[in-house]
Chain A
């Protein structure tokens, strides 16, 4: 193997980047020399370090998806979303039933079983989600934030039919 003048510059990159692209860049650098190429590699290596340190580099991109999937397997991560899904189905079912049968919702002292069920499914999440964040979410902030965002989005989706009924 020939030894190029700028091969050593590959060592300036973050280790995950080197593992992925190091051999290819090293091959390319065997034909490069001079301050212009050197400055170009220096600038690119600095940019990769910035990406690496801000969580947008090769290392994080390789592990992000698998981190989210691994974290999503914990019951405290997926149960809130399942509950929101069930609450949404329950609401849509009740609305559809009322529309099809022409039933009129009357003001009543007790809101009824379905309303209580909905409230329980949403309310329980206020216990599960903090537990999820304390137990798992903080261990990988990006994956935890992604799943928290999905949990919040799922709850917000259950509010849409309610808002439509009220307005």
Chain B
């Protein structure tokens, strides 16, 4: 990934985004996040974010498959993600408007 400024790396937001289309375990999340954002989260960072999101009640674990445990968004997590997306969209719209020539 050449352009580091183009990376987006809010780990909790990225985990929520990764789980938005269905449950995933850690490996799948890492690959999905890298493909989506250009950021490769470290394993410690990923599980730090997973722990915080689970404590907030925004994601929940499913039955483990061997050592891989999938997670999914809760209703509260879905609402939080929608809210964060809306904020991000406002920032993007404002930033784009301000950058465009008058």
* Residues of A bordering B, CB below 8 Å: 6, 17, 20-21, 23-29, 31-32, 36-37, 39-45, 47-48, 58, 61
Q: Report chain B residues within 8 Å CB of A17.
A: 51
- State the Cβ distance, B33 to closest chain A Cβ, in Å: 13
Expressed in whole angstroms, the Cα–Cα distance for A26 and B64 within the complex equals 14
26 contacts between A and B (CB under 8 A): A17-B51, A20-B51, A23-B64, A24-B26, A24-B47, A24-B68, A24-B69, A25-B44, A26-B67, A27-B27, A28-B26, A28-B43, A31-B27, A32-B43, A37-B43, A37-B44, A40-B42, A40-B44, A41-B44, A42-B44, A44-B47, A44-B48, A45-B44, A47-B48, A48-B48, A61-B55
Q: Are B43 and A25 in contact (CB under 8 A)?
A: yes
Chain A, Cβ-Cβ closest to B71: A24
Q: Are A58 and B51 in contact (CB under 8 A)?
A: yes
Chain B: how many interface residues by the 8 Å CB criterion?
19
Chain B, Cβ-Cβ closest to A23: B67
Q: Are A48 and B51 in contact (CB under 8 A)?
A: yes
Q: Are A44 and B42 in contact (CB under 8 A)?
A: yes
Q: Are B45 and A44 in contact (CB under 8 A)?
A: yes
Chain A, Cβ-Cβ closest to B43: A28
Q: Are B42 and A27 in contact (CB under 8 A)?
A: no
Expressed in whole angstroms, the Cα–Cα distance for A15 and B48 within the complex equals 15
* Residue of B30, B43, B44 most packed against chain A (CB within 10 A): B44
Q: Report chain A residues within 8 Å CB of B44.
A: 25, 37, 40-45
What 9 pairs across the A-B complex have the smallest Cβ distances? A40-B42, A44-B44, A41-B44, A27-B67, A40-B44, A28-B43, A23-B67, A44-B48, A28-B26
Q: Are B45 and A40 in contact (CB under 8 A)?
A: yes
Q: Are A37 and B67 in contact (CB under 8 A)?
A: no
Chain A, Cβ-Cβ closest to B25: A24
Chain A, Cβ-Cβ closest to B52: A51
Q: Are A28 and B48 in contact (CB under 8 A)?
A: no
Q: Which of B26, B50, B55 contacts A27 (CB 8 A)?
A: B26
Q: Which of B43, B64, B68, B69 contacts A29 (CB 8 A)?
A: B43
Q: Report chain B residues within 8 Å CB of A39.
A: 42
Expressed in whole angstroms, the Cα–Cα distance for A21 and B67 within the complex equals 10
Tell me whether B46 is interfacial, beta carbon within 8 Å.
yes
Expressed in whole angstroms, the Cα–Cα distance for A43 and B47 within the complex equals 12
Expressed in whole angstroms, the Cα–Cα distance for A25 and B27 within the complex equals 10
Chain B, Cβ-Cβ closest to A36: B42
